Amino acid sequence: MKVKEIRDLIDFLSNSGLEEVNIETEEFKIKVKRSNETQIIEKSVASMPAAVAAPAPVAAALAPAAAPAAAPAPAPAANNYIEIKSPMIGTFYRSANPESPEFVSVGDKVDVGNPVCIIEAMKLFNEIESEVSGTIVKVLVENAQPVEYDQPLFLVDPS
């Protein structure tokens, strides 16, 4: 594992508001702890590069993304819109769990690879990623409703 990778990982975990993170591989062990003044510490087994022992001070947890203003739905001349379809039979969920915000709403921009919903079947939860870039124009299925294979879930304006 490269120093930069470790740094990025620690930055990432710090931003998730965790109190303490310990990472261990065959080569090293590292322990990062948040406290009021400093947060850092270290413990390296082999020759852990010193740079890693000083991650940047941890900022507060990431601010939640601002709620998107409900964009006015374009006139329904839907000709150029692309559908995001369900790859499987299951139940459609718009958020990762009931307490989380929805992955996307009308007016949101999505890029290829952004998660847009969950389809669950037999308690296997599948995070569906967008295969197109664009703006969500319409959500075609209500939360917690069953969906069929190939059923359109979202309309995306690629322009």
Partner 1 sequence: MHKFFAKTRFIGKKVIFLPQCHSTNEIAMSLVNNRHASEGLIVMTADQTHGKGQRGNTWQSDAGKNLTYSIVLQPRSLHISHQFRLHQMISLAVHEALSPILPPGLKVKWPNDIYYGDKKIGGILIENTLRGAQIDYAIIGIGINVNQEYFTLDKATSLAKVRQTTFDIDQIAEDILIAMEELYEPLSEPLANLAAKYEQILYRIHETHRYQAEGKIFHGQITGIAPDGKLMIEEKGNVHHFDFKEVSFI
Least distance in angstroms from the C-beta of 73 to partner 1: 28
Site for partner 1 in 80-99 (CB under 8 A): 87-88, 91, 93, 96-98
- Give the DSSP H or E segment for 33: strand 29-33
Nearer to partner 1, 16 or 79 (CB): 16
- What does the alpha-carbon distance between residue 153 and residue 42 come to, in Å, rounded to a whole number? 47
Nearer to partner 1, 45 or 78 (CB): 45
CA-based nearest residue to 147, from 114, 120, 116, 111: 120
Which residue carries 């270290």 as its tokens? 42
Least distance in angstroms from the C-beta of 74 to partner 1: 28
Nearer to partner 1, 71 or 143 (CB): 143
Total binding residues toward partner 1, as defined by CB under 8 A = 35
Q: Are 78 and 92 in contact (CB under 8 A)?
A: no
In this chain, which of 3, 4, 12, 51 binds partner 1, going by CB under 8 A? 12
> Cβ contacts of residue 126 below 8 Å, gap of 6+?
87, 88, 90, 118, 119, 120
Residue 127 lies near partner 1 (rule: CB under 8 A): yes
Candidate segments 23-31, 49-57, 63-71, 134-142, binder of partner 1 by CB under 8 A: 23-31
> Cβ contacts of residue 133 below 8 Å, gap of 6+?
109, 110, 111, 112, 158
At 89, is the secondary structure helix, strand, or coil? coil
Residue 123 lies near partner 1 (rule: CB under 8 A): yes
Residue 48 lies near partner 1 (rule: CB under 8 A): no
Residues that bind partner 1 (CB under 8 A): 1, 5, 8-9, 12-13, 16, 18-26, 87-88, 91, 93, 96-98, 115, 120-129, 131
